[in-house]
Homo-oligomer: A and B are copies of this chain.
Amino acid sequence: MPSQSKNILFIMYDQLRFDYLSCAGHKSLETPNFDRVAAKGVRFTNAYVQSPVCGASRMSTYTGRYVASHGASWNKYPIRVGEMTMGDHLRALGMNCWLIGKTHMQADAEGMARLGIDKDSIIGVRQSECGFDPFIRDDGLHGNAYAGNYGENDGPYNNYLKSKGYDTDNPWAIYANGSVADGQLASGWFIENADKPANIREEDSETPWLTREAIKFVDMHDGPWCAHLSYIKPHWPYIVPAPYHNMYGPEDVQALIRDAAERENANPVYEAFFNNKIAETFQNDEARTKAIIAYMGLIKQCDDQLGVLLDHLEATGKDKETVIVLTSDHGDYLGDHWLGEKDLLHEPSVKVPMIIHDPDSACDSTRGTQSETLVEQIDLAATFVEMAGGTVPIHQLEGRSLLPFLQGRPVANWREFVISEYDYSIFPMAENLGMESWQARLFMVFDGRWKMVHSAGGHAPILFDLKTDPQEYHDLGTDPAYQAERDRLYDCLHEWGLRMSQRVTMSEAAVQHKKGQPQREGILVGVHHEEDLPEEFTALYVGPARQIHFEQQADRVRYGGEKDEAEND
C-alpha cells in the first residue's frame, strides 16, 4: 500500500561513513538529530551504494539503476540523454521533484545537441539536472583560489558568499576552504591545515547555508513534493569553521581498522590502491588524525543543522506529512585498510547510513527499529514511486521498494545479494596494472555474510567472510577451501550480469498486451489451412468479393498482357 505521507525529504550527505553516527555506535560522536529520525523510523544497517564514488553512486540512486545499466561509471561521466530518473517517474505520478544542493550530474551535451534539446528549456534543464527541478544546484569543490577557471565560481554558494561581503572571485576557495596562518592562506586542500578553523562565519559555511535554502524551499512549497536536499559535506576538504574545528580530539578517534596481514600477498588491485598517494597520506597518523577530527566536526555540524531543519518541520506541522530519508553517497576509508578516500569496496567505503522516517500511521509498528535487510541505494527510487502511489516500473527501475519494511509487511523473495561496481579506469592504478579501461572495473557481490569482489581485469577475486572476519582483514580470494563460496557468489554475479536491464521502452503490461496482437492485427504465421484458426481471424481473408476488383482491372493488372507491356514501356 502506498504511503499516505505527502512529501519526501530525501537528504543525502556526501561521504558520510555508516558508523560515524551515535545511533550506529560511534564511540564519541553524538548525533542526536540523526538518532531522532532513527527513533521515529527504521534504520537499515545493511545499506550499500551501487558504486563507492560520488558520480556513479548518485547516477544509480537518481535513476534507480545499476552503474552497468546507466553507464555513468565515474564522476562527471554524463548520464545519457533520455535516461529515466526519479524525477521523471515522480512527476508522472503528480509529485514534483526538486534539487537543493549537489548531484555531481554531468549533462550529455552531445546527446542533447544531437536531439535538438535546448539546454535552457524546461526539458533541457531537467536533462541537465538528472531529472530534478533545481531549486539550488551547487556541487561544492570550486577549484582554484588564485587563477584560472573563474567561470565556475558563479554558483549559488559563491554568489551567496559574495553577497555577504566575502569579496573575491572564488570565496569558497579562500574562506570556506581556507584558514589563515601567519598572514598566509592555509588552504583546506592540505590536510596539515585540517585542525585550523575555516576562515568563515559558521553560519555562512556550506551546511547552514544549504539548510536555510531547504527551509526556504519547504516554506514555499505545499506539495506533494520530493525534495533532494543534498549536502556537500562532510566530504573533503577536511576543514570546518569554529567551534566545530576543535570540538573533538585525538582521543575521540576510533581505532584503526587495519592489519599488517592485509598487505601480505595482497590482491594486486588492492595493492595498487594501498600504494597510491592518497592512501599513503592516510597511512600517516598525523594526517589521518587531523582529517578525522575535522571530519567529525563536519558531521557534528551536519547533525546540528539537521536539528534546525527538523525543528522547523515540527514548528510548521510539515513533519506530519513528510517522509525523511537520511543517507550518503558512499563512505570514507579514513586510513582504514591502509586506504584514504573511498573507491574500493570494504565496508567503510561502500556501506552507508540509511534511515527512513515515514509519519504515515501505517508505519507505526516499525518506529525506532533496525532492519538488517540487504538494501541497495537504488531501492530509494522504487520506494519513492510506491510512496507516491505508483507501481514500480520494473523494466526501468532495478531497485525494489522498501515501503513494506517500513510498514512491517511481509516481503516475498527479497534479494539474496547486493551489487556494487567500481570503474577505476581514469586512475594511474589502471595503467600500473596494465589494464585497458574496460578491464579496470570491479564488481562486488555481498550476501550479508560473504563479500566477493570480482576484477574484470582477470585478477583473482577478493573474498571476505564478514561473520568470522567482520573487519575484512583476511582475503580468502585464492584459498582453495573457499572455492564453493566463490562459485556460489560467481553464480549470483553471472546471473546479475545477464539481467534484463535495457528493455526500458516496454513495460510488463505492454509485453502482456502484445501477446497475440499480431494475429489480432491480421498477421497470421504458419497457418496451413483456414480451418486451422478460429473464424474471427480467418474471416478477414476469406470471401468471394475481392476477385471482382481484380477482374475489373484485368486489362491493366494481369501479368503478361500485351496492353500492359505497351503501357509500361
Contact = CB atoms under 8 A, between A and B. Distances in A.
Contact of A281 (B190, B284, B527, B546): B527
A136 to B, nearest CB: 19
A141 B523 contact: yes
A541 B81 contact: no
B505 A241 contact: no
Contacts of A72: 503, 505
- Number of copies of chain A assembled together: 2
A287 B528 contact: yes
Interface string A27-42: 0000000000000000
B202 A559 contact: yes
Contacts of A566: none
Contact of A190 (B75, B123, B527, B552): B527
Contacts of A81: 82, 115
A174 interface: yes
Nearest to A124: B116
Nearest to A511: B437
Nearest to A76: B514
A555 B524 CA distance: 84
A536 to B, nearest CB: 11
A259 interface: no
A175 interface: yes
A313 interface: no
Given A71-B504, A80-B505, A559-B201, A183 B544 contact: yes
Given A77-B505, A174-B546, A546-B185, A528 B190 contact: yes
A168 B242 CA distance: 86
A557 B164 CA distance: 7
A534 interface: no
A340 B521 CA distance: 21
A88 B88 CA distance: 26
Interface string A272-293: 0000011101101011000000
A568 interface: yes
A547 B199 CA distance: 9
A189 interface: yes
Contact of A145 (B144, B166, B284, B540): B540
Contacts of A200: 557, 559
A391 interface: no
A494 interface: yes
Interface residues of A, number: 133
A153 B347 CA distance: 61
B146 A543 contact: yes
A557 B205 CA distance: 11
Contact of A184 (B127, B279, B547): B547
Contacts of A525: 236, 278, 341
B426 A550 contact: no
A552 B167 contact: yes
A427 B545 CA distance: 34
A16 interface: no
Interface stretch (A6-14, A106-114, A261-269, A301-309): A106-114
B190 A529 contact: yes
Nearest to A146: B540
A311 interface: no
A175 to B, nearest CB: 7
B204 A498 contact: no
Contacts of A108: 505
A260 interface: no
A480 interface: no
Nearest to A498: B497
B498 A546 contact: no
A236 B528 CA distance: 12
A113 B435 CA distance: 41
Nearest to A181: B547
A190 B538 CA distance: 9
Contacts of A178: 541, 546
Interface in A172-194: 173-175, 178, 180, 183-185, 187, 189-192
Interface of A: 68-82, 88, 108, 110-111, 114-117, 121, 123, 127, 141, 143-149, 164-168, 173-175, 178, 180, 183-185, 187, 189-192, 199-204, 236, 241-242, 277-279, 281-282, 284, 286-287, 340-341, 423, 425-428, 437-438, 441, 443, 454, 456, 490, 493-494, 497-506, 508, 511-512, 514-515, 518, 521-530, 532, 538-547, 549-550, 552-553, 556-560, 564, 568
9 contacts: A71-B505, A80-B505, A144-B521, A165-B557, A184-B543, A190-B524, A203-B568, A443-B498, A497-B498
